[in-house]
Structure 1
Amino acid sequence: MPLIETASTISPYWLPNGHFQSIYPALFRKVNGVKYNRERIVTPDEDFLDLDWSYGNDAGSGRLVILSHGLEGNSTRQYMLGMVKVLNQHGFDCLAWNFRGCGGEMNKTARFYHSGATEDLDLVVKHAFEKNKYSSIHLLGFSLGGNLTLKYLGESGARINACIKSALVFSVPMDLKACSLAIIQPENRVYMHRFLRSLRPKVNEKAVHFPERINIADQKHVRTLYDFDHIFTAPLHGFNSADHYYEQCSSQFFIKDIAIPTMVINAKNDPIVPYQSLPLTELKAHSNVHLLATNDGGHCGFRPAEVADGCYWSEKRAVEFLVRET
């Protein structure tokens, strides 16, 4: 499909760049009215995943959207709640699942979640279908969850469950190494330190229960997210190094096999995902994957200049796409 680059401006004048457009919604947006029903499912390795269900206004519509959050996010982040609320209003049931260790309680195994852990997403998809026999399932992901979604679609290829009709992802780090190096840059370190402040206590807690797998003294070597992935993420999940992890899990290496209608929405001023890191040549030539590149919006931001009914630009685009692909 052809690459579409929007010429219009999304953000208000008082959010003048990608940093403001990323940070303001994360800190100040409040979304009310979403009611979750939590369900816990057991994984094959005797761990658990917490699933948060929210049902649409059109009871029995048979339409479900499965939402995957970003790094150190969860089902209650503003970008998740905002999307769930709008989708519910348009008749979609939503399943916002929490990655291992992200649902408010530490998971049981030594492993965490990571950018390529598609076995967990596959389990969620199968469970949702078997539980309610949805006729139409759509996948939606933000940032890390977007990379996970694209990798899952590529791995599934033409064999994907026929009930999965489409996918939509925002602010996707399709080249994990490029994004890991970008976040090291001085202007982006505020994001990196925020992620590390959340990840470090989890490692400390894990080290108490799995001292043979995690050496808490290694924390002193972690200065960047790249260090964290090299010292903790990679070995805990069976990779040789951070580079090996990035090579095996970057969705840019899987998109060629995606067989269902898929839209990727990334802002050119995303401070965490450099626009030039996207596989533009492959995306332009793809028959199923459509890249919408906006001039502004930041990382998982997309706050419009005028917020009608509390709805963000990204949420309007999602409704348009998902209704069309149902």
Structure 2
Amino acid sequence: MPVSIPDYTAPALLRNRHLLTIFPSLFRKIQPAQYTRTRIPTADNDFIDLDFSKTGSRKLVIILHGLEGNSKRQYVTGMVHIFNEGGYDTVSMNFRGCSGESNNALRFYHSGETGDLQTVVDYVQKDYESLHIVGFSLGGNVTLKYIGEQGASIPASIRSAVAISVPVDLKDSSFELEKRHNFIYMKRFIRSLGEKLQVKARQYPEKISLNGFSSIRNFRQFDDRYTAPIHGFRDAEEYWAKNSSKQFLPRIAIPTLLINALDDPFLGKGSYPYAEAEANPNFHLETPATGGHVGFVTFSGKHYWSERRAFQFIHDHS
């Protein structure tokens, strides 16, 4: 049964879920990754910026960041370091508009956009004998949805995947983020997304209006007004329903691990898919009691527990 009890326990001083979530971004000291950037074109005349960190390996790990993240976030660079040290090349994918430069198209990125990941797979697979994917939060939802969509037809070069702190049920996790205890996160996300929209509004003034943006307080309002219509969905409900990765988990056909802490402040009850893991031998689920959202802080050694666990799982399936 691919549901197992993980061995992670948060440090005594960081047992609070919000401390675990915030601590890494504020206090973790980590060397920047030594990236080489490559810009690749998309079928719709746009571009994706990829940051490679190479060791000369024939094995590559594709790393996908979370909402409003990028390849420089500490959780991404931590994963880059452990895989480079273990003999893997990595490529950190910046979602459209997240690489420091606004993308060309009206559309940008969202929780279920798997076409760009396929573009990256097509670009890199000719140079590597095996590919693996690690996705965080929103990037984890993209990872799981992509693997489930592919099912048994997934490219033979893709051997395994790990997804960390993933809202596999977008609707109930969006509602969870609306709660009072998550106010600071929601405010930060909306502000950051608003900054990107300001750029888009200058690019497409006839398509995007920021009138009344200051009244937006949550993802339902944001997704109803912007994410859904820009990306071809009727409203937030349809966007969440079609892009939640939970419905794709039964079709996963390669070894895949999901790690969701039980104290993750971002996740609703629907993001703990025990039944799906019990029914699919390829889909493994680990739910530590602590960890926060993309936290899993460890004071012993230079790598966090989530990084060691991801490396172990992928190495076992290389």
TM-score normalised according to structure 1 size:
0.95
Question: Aligned pair 1:4/2:4, yes or no?
Answer: yes
Alpha-carbon contact 1:268-1:274 (below 8 Å) kept: no
Alpha-carbon contact 2:114-2:142 (below 8 Å) kept: yes
| Identity score, percent | 47
Give the equivalent residue in structure 2 for 1:144: 138
Give the equivalent residue in structure 2 for 1:62: 58
1:216 CA displacement: 1.5
Q: Deviations 1:248-289 (Å, cap 9, x if unpaired)?
A: 000001111111000001100000013553232122211110
CA RMSD of aligned residues (A): 1.2
Give the equivalent residue in structure 2 for 1:303: 297
Q: Secondary structure at the match of 2:40?
A: strand
Q: Deviations 1:101-124 (Å, cap 9, x if unpaired)?
A: 000001111111000110000000
Structure 1 pair 319–14 and aligned structure 2 pair: CA distance change class (3 A): same
CA distance in 2, matches of 1:245, 1:84: 31
Give the equivalent residue in structure 2 for 1:22: 21
CA distance in 2, matches of 1:169, 1:42: 26
Alignment of 1:86-105 (within 5 A): 86-105=82-101
Q: Which amino acid aligns with 1:118?
A: T
CA distance in 2, matches of 1:225, 1:284: 31
1:325 CA displacement: 0.3
CA distance in 2, matches of 1:11, 1:282: 27
State the number of aligned residues: 318
Alignment of 1:92-241 (within 5 A): 92-130=88-126, 132=127, 134-241=128-235
TM-score normalised according to structure 2 size:
0.97
CA distance in 2, matches of 1:147, 1:218: 30
CA distance in 2, matches of 1:84, 1:9: 21
CA distance in 2, matches of 1:33, 1:199: 25
Question: Which of residues 277, 285, 289 in structure 2 aligns to 1:291?
Answer: 285
CA distance in 1, matches of 2:64, 2:46: 18
Alpha-carbon contact 2:260-2:287 (below 8 Å) kept: yes
* Structure 2 unaligned residues grouped into runs of 5+: none
Using the TM superposition, name which of 120-129 and 273-282 deviates more: 273-282
Q: Deviations 1:196-245 (Å, cap 9, x if unpaired)?
A: 11111111111122122211114144111221111100000000000100
Give the equivalent residue in structure 1 for 2:42: 43
1:13 CA displacement: 1.2
Alignment of 1:260-271 (within 5 A): 260-271=254-265
Alpha-carbon contact 1:167-1:261 (below 8 Å) kept: yes
1:314 CA displacement: 0.7
Using the TM superposition, name which of 204-213 and 118-127 deviates more: 204-213
Q: Which amino acid aligns with 1:299?
A: H
Q: Secondary structure at the match of 1:294?
A: coil
Question: Aligned pair 1:314/2:310, yes or no?
Answer: no
1:51 CA displacement: 0.1
* Structure 1 unaligned residues grouped into runs of 5+: none
1:30 CA displacement: 2.4
Q: Which amino acid aligns with 2:314?
A: L
